Structure 1
């Protein structure tokens, strides 16, 4: 791979992230890509600037005295900021934030693939994947959207090759078999908003155990 990021966050996703309308799982991936990609970072700032102008032009609406008192009482409550984590090795700051500063706790899925689930709830999940060179994630489709960001190494599938910083976006129309390229383990950050749709019987049987 050339080291140049060629697969970026689509404009619609950047706009949703800037507006705070993305789930936590997708937000971690988008924030991580933006931290690695000057082009998308500039695009995000443009969306934020537009949002600021829109807020300035929006007609103000009076609020009730009760709501005002509730907000002021919240401001009076003690505020304890969360720690802010910087990049560590191949892991961008947003990933370290999700890890809460710890090292990944890898759990084996078999076939040269390991994972660390960073968060999982009804809106989706985000996890780190560690794939040995030449190994594949079993052939699968999607019941929703999946974002996969490469942090180390590279992988290839039916749609092309993805290197460090590249973001693959998969939806219900894509069935693929991602394979880690030669030259070192591939580490990815992956987020989904629905369970994957595996084609082989063994991955389907193990799916509830691995929470994929």
Structure 2
């Protein structure tokens, strides 16, 4: 397995261990934990301690704004443990979100496809399939976005992300993720607010595709 270099911050793992993340984010964190030995061990430590006291999380883990955003997620109901095993590139939590069925892809244009796994007041979770070398339109964020790579890789203004890597983005980041050459990039992404696209056409199509 590819070495994972972008991990979930401790505040996010503590919230997950406490059963307090909204469902879309819990799906992503559960999938990341299933792929990352380090984060799985950290989460187990939080669970053994009954969940960490989030106010004591080290400030170096995340920015103040992002840490505050994570702390603000704690009022949502908990999510049960996944009951499905990994299938191909899809970790058990993703297979469960798909109810054991293959993904039903919807084209978004430029060869990019999506499969919505969860959508509601807490936010949304979706699979994204991006052809090699293709860019997701430039966008910023109205809230928090978590993106986990399941196949292939992508790069943006913050670095390179491969299988198992988790990117966290908030209102401070505007980026243009580009899939690396080679295999198509398949990601699991969750947001708690609509994205802010920089160009007109993606903005006009946004309500249709529920991004």
2: distance between equivalents of 1:88 and 1:113?
Answer: 22
What TM-score do you get using the length of structure 2 for normalisation? 0.85
Q: Which has the larger radius of gyration?
A: 1
Is the 2:18–2:51 contact (alpha carbons within 8 Å) kept by the matching residues of 1?
no
What TM-score do you get using the length of structure 1 for normalisation? 0.84
The match for 1:198 is 197
Q: Does 1:18 align with 2:56?
A: no
Q: Does 1:109 align with 2:108?
A: yes
The match for 2:180 is 181
| Greater shift in the superposed pair: 160-169 or 44-53 | 44-53
Shift of 1:84: 2.2
1: distance between equivalents of 2:200 and 2:124?
Answer: 23
Q: Which runs of 5 or more residues in structure 2 are unaligned? A: 54-79
Say if 1:187 and 1:20 are closer, same or farther in 2 by CA, change over 3 A.
same
Shift of 1:52: 7.3
**Aligned Cα root-mean-square deviation (Å):** 1.8
Q: Which runs of 5 or more residues in structure 1 are unaligned? A: 55-80
Q: Does 1:120 align with 2:111?
A: no
Deviations 1:85-140 (A, max 9, x none): 11000000000000000000001000121000001001100000000001011000
Say if 1:211 and 1:199 are closer, same or farther in 2 by CA, change over 3 A.
same
Say if 1:52 and 1:175 are closer, same or farther in 2 by CA, change over 3 A.
closer
Equivalenced residues, count:
185
